[in-house]
Chain A
Amino acid sequence: MKTGIYLCQCGGNISNTVDLNSVTEHIKKNDENILVKINSHMCSGAGQKLIIDDIKKNGLEKVVVASCSPHFHEKTFRSTLKKAGLNPYVLEIANLREHCSWIHKDIPEIATEKAKDIVDAALAKAELNYPLEEKKMQLGNEILVIGGGIAGIQTSLDLADSGKKVTLVEKLPTIGGNMAILTKTFPTEDCAACILSPKMAAILDHPNITLYTNSEIEDIVGHRLHFEARVKKHPRYIKDTVNMDLCLSCNKCTEVCPVTQPNYWEQGIINREAIYIPAPHAIPFKYLIDAENCLHFRDNSCKKCAEVCPQNVIDFEQKEEIINVAVDSVVVATGYDIFDAREKSVFGYGKYENVVTAMEMERIVDHIVEAEPPRKVGKRVAFVQCVGSRDEQVGNEYCSRVCCMYSVKLASLLKQAKPETDIYIFYTDLRAFGKGYEEYYKRSQKMGIKFIRGKPSHFTEDKETKQVIITVEDTLSRNIIETEFDLVVLANGLVLSKSSDIVADSLKLAKSDDGFFKEAHPKYKPVDTLVEGVFLAGTAQGPKDIPDTVAQASAAAARVIATLAQKEVPLDPILAFVHQEICDGCEKCLEMCPPKAISMNADGKAAVNEALCLGCGSCIESCPIEALDLNYYTNKQLYAEIEAVLKFKKENEKRILVFADDNTTYRLIDACGVRKMKYTDCIRVLRIPSGSRVTPNLLQFAFAKGADAVFIGDSPEKSSRFEWANNVTNKNLEVVKKKLKELNIESERLVFSQFTAADMMKFITEIDQLADKIDKMDPITDELKKQLLPNKEIKE
Chain B
Amino acid sequence: MKIPYFPGCTLKTTAQNFEMSAIESAKKIGIEFIELPRWNCCGVVASLTSDDLMRHLAPVRNFLRVQEMNKQGLVENENRLLTLCSMCYNTLSLSNLRMKNDADDLQKINDFMHKEEENYDGNIEVVHFLSILEEMGFDKLAQKITKPLKDLKVASYYGCMLLRPKEVGIDDAEAPTILENFVKSLKAETVDWDAGSRCCGSYHTVNNVEIVYTLVKGIILDARKNGAEAIITSCPLCAFNLDVRQSEIKKDNPDFQTIPIFYFTQLMGIALGLNKEALGLEFNKIDAEDILKKKKLIK
Contact = CB atoms under 8 A, between A and B. Distances in A.
A–B contact (CB under 8 angstroms) = yes
B222 to A, nearest CB: 9
A463 B226 contact: yes
Contacts of A345: 172, 174-175
A346 interface: yes
A178 to B, nearest CB: 28
Nearest to B192: A463
A346 B174 contact: yes
Contacts of B175: 345
A137 B35 CA distance: 76
B194 interface: yes
Interface string A446-488: 0000000000001010010000000000000000000000000
A463 B175 CA distance: 18
A463 B225 CA distance: 9
Contacts of B194: 460
A200 to B, nearest CB: 40
A346 B174 CA distance: 6
A460 B175 CA distance: 13
Interface in A330-383: 345-346
Nearest to A461: B194
Interface in B166-225: 172, 174-175, 194, 225
A interface, how many residues as a size bin? Answer: under 10
Contacts of A458: 174
A375 to B, nearest CB: 24
Interface residues of B, number: 6
Interface string B144-178: 00000000000000000000000000001011000
Contacts of B226: 463
Contacts of B174: 345-346, 458
A460 B174 CA distance: 13
B77 to A, nearest CB: 32
A460 B198 CA distance: 13
Nearest to A469: B194
Contacts of B172: 345
A623 to B, nearest CB: 50
Nearest to B172: A345
Contacts of A460: 194
Contacts of B225: 463
B233 to A, nearest CB: 21
A345 B171 CA distance: 13
Interface string A142-154: 0000000000000
A460 B218 CA distance: 14
A44 B174 CA distance: 69
A346 B172 CA distance: 11
Nearest to A458: B174
Interface centre among B172, B175, B225, B226 (most CB of A within 10 A): B175
A345 B197 CA distance: 13
A414 to B, nearest CB: 28
Nearest to A459: B194
B90 to A, nearest CB: 19
B124 to A, nearest CB: 28
Nearest to B222: A460
Contacts of A346: 174
Interface string A526-564: 000000000000000000000000000000000000000
B195 to A, nearest CB: 9
B158 to A, nearest CB: 14
Interface string B72-91: 00000000000000000000
A458 B198 CA distance: 12
Nearest to B227: A463
A728 to B, nearest CB: 38
Nearest to A345: B175
A726 to B, nearest CB: 31
Interface string B36-67: 00000000000000000000000000000000
Nearest to A344: B174
A368 B172 CA distance: 38
Contacts of A463: 225-226
A495 to B, nearest CB: 19
A463 B194 CA distance: 11
Interface string B105-122: 000000000000000000
A345 B172 CA distance: 10
B237 to A, nearest CB: 23
A346 B175 CA distance: 8
A439 to B, nearest CB: 39
B175 to A, nearest CB: 4
A468 to B, nearest CB: 12
Nearest to B194: A460
A463 B227 CA distance: 12
Interface string A265-276: 000000000000
A460 B226 CA distance: 13
A458 B173 CA distance: 13
Interface in A57-106: none
Q: Which of B172, B174, B226 has the most CB of A within 10 A?
A: B174
Most-contacted residue by chain B among A346, A458, A463 (CB, 10 A)? A463
Given A345-B172, A345-B175, A346-B174, 5 more contacts: A345-B174, A458-B174, A460-B194, A463-B225, A463-B226
8 contacts: A345-B172, A345-B174, A345-B175, A346-B174, A458-B174, A460-B194, A463-B225, A463-B226
Counting from the closest, the 8 A-B pairs by CB-CB distance are: A345-B175, A345-B174, A460-B194, A346-B174, A345-B172, A463-B226, A463-B225, A458-B174
